[in-house]
Amino acid sequence: NAGVTQTPKFQVLKTGQSMTLQCAQDMNHNSMYWYRQDPGMGLRLIYYSASEGTTDKGEVPNGYNVSRLNKREFSLRLESAAPSQTSVYFCASSAVRQVEAFFGQGTRLTVV
Amino acid sequence: AQSVTQPDIHITVSEGASLELRCNYSYGATPYLFWYVQSPGQGLQLLLKYFSGDTLVQGIKGFEAEFKRSQSSFNLRKPSVHWSDAAEYFCAVGGDTGGFKTIFGAGTRLFVKA
């Protein structure tokens, strides 16, 4: 019953450092997503992967890169972290597009 | 362009009272509509969804929502709120237009007082 698993749960970075957020799902879903959540702004889509081997930009892709490693795993990379990237990041997956998404528990990232 | 508006940033209701959370959307085609709930420190959990058919949909935890096309609304209701319902609620809209960009509202935080 793991669903969508994100690691790490918390992270503090210094400006300019890089890191990768990991996400894995065990529901055999085709589509995976990365969102960021900021107060008063809901969730904004960073990148998504419609299926294994494809990735596309969402609403706020600047400063991020993604890799769909296989059907289960979808990672988000910050190459040079900035304070504006302080946020809570959620990974999600769905069987097909636009239907019910299942969310991980989130990664709280602080960039100082 | 797609958009979702949740007019109330926060709402406070007494335990046992009824609840209605508002959601208005803008979408150029037949929308898929969702309500998610987020408890503190948790991810989002789907409460209910509307794709087509009966405009009154039932969800988990005693919630329901009504799709009103003429008003571009999808309001969430519950007849009697429990203290455990205190959380943040997100309305979202998507659709089978070839895109993947489900749009989320900014959320409404629900406080429940004893």
Mean pLDDT in runs of 10 for chain A (112 residues)?
A: 90 97 95 92 90 90 96 97 97 80 93 97
Q: What are phi and psi of B107, to 5 degrees?
A: 100, 150
Read off the tokens for B98. Answer: 């070839």
Asked if B90's CB is within 8 angstroms of A98's CB, the reply is no
The answer to whether B92 and B105 have CB atoms below 8 angstroms apart is yes
Interface of A with B in 21-60 (CB under 8 A): 31, 33, 35, 40-45, 48, 50, 56, 58-59
Is the backbone peptide bond immediately before A8 cis, with ω within 30 degrees of 0? yes
3-state secondary structure of B61: helix
Q: Does residue B102 belong to the interface with chain A, where contact is any CB pair within 8 Å?
A: yes
Whether B30 shows a pLDDT value over 80: the answer reads: no
User: In chain A, whose CA is at the least distance from the CA of B49?
Assistant: A100
The answer to whether A95 and A29 have CB atoms below 8 angstroms apart is yes
In Å, how far is A80's CA from the nearest CA of chain B? 26
The answer to whether B38 and B87 have CB atoms below 8 angstroms apart is yes
In Å, how far is B78's CA from the nearest CA of chain A? 21
Q: What is the pLDDT of residue B103?
A: 86
Whether B21 shows a pLDDT value over 80: the answer reads: yes
Q: What is the pLDDT of residue A101?
A: 86
- What pLDDT, in 10s, does the model give residues B34-70? 999 999 888 899 999 998 888 999 999 999 999 999 9
Residue B96: pLDDT band (50, 70, 90) is low
Q: Does residue A2 belong to the interface with chain B, where contact is any CB pair within 8 Å?
A: no
User: In chain A, whose CA is at the least distance from the CA of B102?
Assistant: A98
3-state secondary structure of B8: coil
- What pLDDT, in 10s, does the model give residues A82-112? 999 999 999 999 887 657 888 999 999 999 9
In DSSP notation, B6-23 reads ---SEEEEETTS-EEE--
**Which residues are B74's β-sheet partners?**
B67
